[in-house]
């Protein structure tokens, strides 16, 4: 069955499900975790998540960490992941934003197989939702098709 993906911000999370606010409508849904997410990823409030709306109940299938840009090193961005770690990341292919030190961003590792800045965040929300959806959703679907996530 094809995925019907949308972006949301995690509001409240438990070990089995997450209440999330949909970015397109502002509605709030209760989503369970995909087997892959529940097995290896802890989802926390404030994280950006991809939900599959195709099943009867929404499912969290992917998530991005919020972080703060701490340093710019050529084409690399050093991001504080809010968990006492600094991550060296690259901007996602085609992301047209000039990052500055202290900017909030969303980062992930999964589909890129390297740390990647997915988008600039303002007020806890991604600023390029259409870009992020067009860029990330096919990659997320491919991870699940291949069983690589």
Q: What is the pLDDT of residue 149?
A: 64
Q: Is 107 helix (H, G, I), strand (E, B) or coil?
A: strand
Q: What is the pLDDT of residue 60?
A: 97
Residue whose pair of structure tokens reads 């197989």 in the numeric block: 113
Which CATH number applies to 5-63+129-146: 3.10.110.10, 3.40.190.10, 3.40.50.1240, 2.40.50.140? 2.40.50.140
3-state helix, strand, coil in the chain (%, to 5): 15, 45, 40
Q: What is the pLDDT of residue 1?
A: 63
Residue 100 neighbours by CB under 8 Å, 6+ apart: 69, 72
Residue 90, phi-psi category: left (phi > 0), alpha (psi -120 to 50), beta (remainder):
beta
Q: Residue 34 has what DSSP assignment?
A: P
Distances (CA, A) of 75 to 72, 78, 93, 116, 145: 8, 10, 12, 11, 31
The C-alpha atoms of residue 69 and residue 18 are separated, in whole angstroms, by: 27
Tell me if domain 5-63+129-146 and domain 65-124 are identical in fold. Answer: yes
Q: Which CATH class is domain 65-124?
A: mainly beta
Taking the complete model, does pTM exceed 0.75, yes or no? yes
* β-strand partners of 76: 73, 90
- Taking only the tens of pLDDT, the chain with its 149 residues reads 689 999 999 999 999 999 999 999 999 999 999 998 888 888 999 999 999 998 889 999 999 999 999 999 999 999 998 877 899 999 999 999 999 999 999 999 877 678 999 999 999 999 999 999 999 999 999 999 987 66
Q: What is the pLDDT of residue 38?
A: 85
The C-alpha atoms of residue 78 and residue 72 are separated, in whole angstroms, by: 6
- Tell me the domain boundaries of the chain: 5-63+129-146, 65-124
């Amino acid at each position: 069955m094809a995925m019907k993906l949308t972006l949301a911000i995690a509001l409240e999370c438990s070990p089995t499900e997450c209440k999330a606010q949909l970015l397109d409508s502002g509605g709030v849904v209760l989503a369970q975790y995909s087997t892959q997410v529940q097995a290896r990823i802890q989802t926390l409030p404030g994280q950006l998540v991809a939900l599959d709306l195709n099943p009867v109940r929404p499912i969290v299938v992917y998530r991005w960490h919020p972080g703060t840009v701490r340093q710019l090193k050529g084409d690399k961005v050093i991001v504080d992941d809010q968990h006492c770690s600094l991550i060296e990341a690259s901007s996602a292919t085609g992301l047209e934003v000039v990052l500055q030190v202290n900017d909030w961003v969303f980062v992930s590792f999964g589909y890129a197989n390297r740390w990647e800045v997915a988008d600039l965040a303002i007020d806890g929300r991604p600023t390029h939702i259409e870009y992020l959806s067009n860029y990330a959703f096919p990659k997320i679907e491919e991870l699940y098709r291949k069983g690589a996530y």
